[in-house]
A and B are shown apart, each in its own frame.
Chain A
Amino acid sequence: MFKRLRGYFSTDLSIDLGTANTLIYVRDKGIVLNEPSVVAVQDEPTRGGKIIVAVGTEAKNMLGRTPGHITAVRPMKDGVIADFTYTEKMLQYFINKVHGNRTLKPSPRVLVCVPFGSTQVERRAIRESAEGAGARNVAHRE
């Protein structure tokens, strides 16, 4: 119910969540984001987990060049989600990045494009990732 209220302050997004690049299209604005689907994560033993140090282009430059405590990963593989948590984090980062309105946490209506052959399990993973990233209403399209 609160999500719906927040929805009034958000715009519709169309996301191409690709293996190599993620693109976001906003109505009336065109393509607003085009970045590689890469996340760089750093081990943080004190806080008992991992923190994200970079997403997108910055993280892509780190691929294959990371020291021991940082890993640069591509959370999508073969058009499907290989790493659920990082995909969610990455989407969250991208959605926040394209949203100018910061007073309310954005909760846009989202259309995610999925590969045709993807299974129900894969689609559900994408849906949950997008919902976890704050999407209000997620639709799929091949």
Chain B
Amino acid sequence: MAAAVGAGLPVHEPRGSMVLDIGGGTSEVAVLSLNGVVYANSARIGGDRFDEAIMNYVRRNYGILIGEATSERIKIEIGSAYPGTQVRELSVKGRNLSEGVPRSFTLNSNEILEALQEPLQSIVSAVKQALEQTPPELGADVAERGIVLTGGGALLRDIDKLLTEETGLPVMVADDPLTCVARGGGRILELMDELGPGHFGLE
């Protein structure tokens, strides 16, 4: 909800807005209308799971152990969610399991794409499930105006393309996706002073 307000969606209107927030630990998909949540679902998949998938992939295919920080760097620099025209490469270092000595090796973006398939598919299926469960009138609004992505996961290259391909709906990444939730929360605090806490169904 806060993410949607931060992304500047017209949540107070009687129209459906769909937002997908891919955070560090969880991904949440929600359909909102009239300042309320119509449907929401949370999957325990996020940036951490992407890092883990990369770590496992490198261990399986190269027999090399890398740390969390390295894995995160790989994701940020060459990770992508959809096959692109340009293949990027990155040289990283890790401990070779059979030799026990640190070694340097090169990864390319297609390999990372393959490594990320599993968590990405889970996110796609969460979105599809949400679309199935949305009441038809709101679903029509979503089809017209698309899905908005927020959270750090939205910064993964071409994740909007992947979702457009899978759902057939327009998908856009919010401005400054990392700070959407905090900014939205601030806006809600302001509105709460004007309209009273009941307006947002706050606890």
How far is the CB of A41 from the nearest CB of chain B, in Å?
A: 18
Task: Assess the A19–B24 pair: CB atoms within 8 A.
Answer: yes
Stretch at the interface among A1-9, A46-54, A99-107, A112-120: A112-120
A interface, size bucket: 35 or more
Q: Please measure, in the bound complex, the distance between the C-alpha atom of A21 and the C-alpha atom of B179, giving whole angstroms.
A: 10
How many residue-residue contacts, CB under 8 A, span A and B?
127
Is A79 an interface residue, CB under 8 A from the partner?
A: yes
Is B26 an interface residue, CB under 8 A from the partner?
A: yes
Q: Please measure, in the bound complex, the distance between the C-alpha atom of A141 and the C-alpha atom of B68, giving whole angstroms.
A: 30
What string of 1s and 0s marks CB contacts (under 8 Å) between A49-84 and chain B? 000000000000001100000000000111110000
B interface, size bucket: 35 or more
How far is the CB of B138 from the nearest CB of chain A, in Å?
A: 17
Task: Assess the A27–B25 pair: CB atoms within 8 A.
Answer: no
A14-B185 in contact given A20-B48, A23-B179, A34-B178 (Cβ < 8 Å): yes
**A residues 116-142 touching B (CB-CB < 8 Å):** 116-118, 123, 139-142
A117-B41 in contact given A21-B152, A24-B182 (Cβ < 8 Å): yes
- 9 A-B pairs with least C-beta separation: A20-B24, A14-B185, A19-B25, A19-B24, A117-B42, A23-B182, A79-B26, A25-B186, A14-B186
| Interface residues, chain A, with chain B CB atoms under 8 Å away | 12, 14-16, 18-21, 23-27, 30-31, 34, 37, 63-64, 76-80, 109, 111-113, 115-118, 123, 139-142
Further 9 A-B residue pairs, CB within 8 A, beyond A16-B185, A19-B46, A113-B184: A14-B185, A20-B152, A25-B182, A115-B25, A116-B28, A118-B42, A139-B202, A142-B28, A142-B30
